[in-house]
Amino acid sequence: MHSWKTYLRDRPRTAWMLFFVLAFYALALWAEVLSEDGGSSARQDGRLSTAELRQREAVFAQNLQKNPGLVRAFSLSFLFLLGAGLALDLHALTAKRAGRPFWGSRPGEAGAPWGLGGVFEFFVLLFFIETALTGTEIVAGVFIRWDGPQKDFLLVANSFVRDVLVAVLVIFAVKKKFCLPLSRLGLTAKDWGLNIFRGLAGYLAVIPWLVLILAASAAAARFFSYEPEPQEIVQIYLAESARRYFLFFTLFVTVVGPVAEEIFFRGFVYGAFRKKFGTVAGALAAASLFSAMHMSLVAFLPILCLGLFLIYLYEKTGSLVPSITAHIAHNLAMVAFTMSFKWLSV
């Protein structure tokens, strides 16, 4: 087994990208430590402080109390989703016991020809693209003064470009370097209608578990007096910039992001982890990495649960269509919830 020094020496391009990424983040951390107005910058960019967010939560609760019909509609919708999800879980369990797998069943495939080294190289590439784009914006910011909405647009645009490039390069590597059909990544149109249904039904079935785990995580945070910061994309939607760039933000969050993440995490990363650690351990490792990349302590377990189920769908069907569909449905639900909170908290 080669050492990391030998591994990086044999891959100078990856080594230089890794050096650039580490140097960039070291400089960014140093600049943040030296900055005297770091606490006010977020406010200038339109971000909500913890106190402001709590105030909006109180206004949200008051507005709901003034609209009992709305509360009733929300409650009935929520109970319907929970009931339908539990009914699907029970149906899937019954079908499995009867030997009729509800989510599908595919024959096992040979392990992915790429390994953990290939996954590491793509992660380095992912962070290199992000830091290169951010560095370019910082240099351009010397000559151009970005306002809050423009900064939010650039942040989402960076993620858009990064995700698309990584997904395209993964597809290129599988097709050209490994000379494999895209079906090995799960990109197949076979049974696409059935797989879309499986994805929608799958997301509905996992909702009760996501709600339960999220409630437990929130209770644990309150017990330890931990005040979680909203995810960056939630802050962006709550800011005024969401009005100007709403369609672009939503296109990225609900379509581009889910498709790119499924290609990368389920099709590529999980394939390497399954080859190295087996199905169960590989799924846990890939889903944990997927959840950690969202950088939310309170949401870590719910996203981990979602990631595991997306892998389960992929494993059972051999297609990314169900997991992409479920991922899109989840992100659409999160956007709808965030915008409902925004409209009812002012």
* pLDDT reading at 105 higher than 80: no
- Residue 106's pLDDT band, with cuts at 50, 70 and 90, is confident
The residue range of the domain holding 240 is: 103-344
* pLDDT reading at 39 higher than 50: no
Would you give the DSSP letter of residue 245?
Answer: S
- pLDDT one-digit tens code per residue, 245-298: 899 999 999 999 999 999 999 999 999 999 999 999 999 999 999 999 988 888
- CA dist 283 and 289 (Å) reads 10
pLDDT of residue 311: 96
Can you tell me the mean pLDDT for 75-89?
93
pLDDT of residue 111: 65
* pLDDT reading at 32 higher than 80: no
Q: CA geometry: angle at 174 spanning 315 and 308, to 5°? A: 25
**pTM metric for this prediction:** 0.91
Question: What does pLDDT average to over the chain?
Answer: 87
Q: CA geometry: angle at 199 spanning 194 and 202, to 5°? A: 120
- pLDDT one-digit tens code per residue, 124-142: 999 999 999 999 988 888 8
Alpha helix positions (H), 35-115: 38-44, 50-65, 68-97
Higher-confidence residue of 242 and 73: namely 73
pLDDT of residue 43: 45
140 occurs within a structural domain = yes
pLDDT of residue 330: 96
As for how many domains the chain has, the answer is 1
pLDDT of residue 20: 94
Alpha helix positions (H), 111-188: 116-141, 148-172
Residues 6+ apart with CB under 8 A from 116: 272, 273, 276
What are the two backbone dihedrals, phi and then psi, of residue 111, each rounded to the nearest 5 degrees? -60, 155
- pLDDT one-digit tens code per residue, 146-195: 777 788 888 899 999 999 999 999 999 999 999 999 988 999 988 899 99
- pLDDT one-digit tens code per residue, 65-78: 888 888 899 899 99
Cα radius of gyration (the chain): 22
Percent of the chain with pLDDT over 90: 53
- pLDDT one-digit tens code per residue, 318-343: 999 999 999 999 999 999 999 999 88
pLDDT of residue 107: 60
pLDDT of residue 41: 43
Q: Say if CB 140 and CB 221 are below 8 A apart.
A: no
Kindly list the distances between the CA atom of residue 31 and the CA atoms of 27, 34, 45, 143, 180, in Å, as whole numbers in the listed order. 6, 5, 18, 19, 45
HSE-up of 301 (CA within 13 Å, CB side)? 14
18 occurs within a structural domain = no
pLDDT of residue 38: 45
Can you tell me the mean pLDDT for 29-33?
78
- CA dist 217 and 299 (Å) reads 7
Can you tell me the mean pLDDT for 107-134?
86
* pLDDT reading at 42 higher than 60: no
Higher-confidence residue of 201 and 101: namely 201
Can you tell me the mean pLDDT for 295-309?
91
pLDDT of residue 45: 56
pLDDT of residue 346: 77
29 occurs within a structural domain = no
pLDDT of residue 35: 63
* pLDDT reading at 46 higher than 70: no
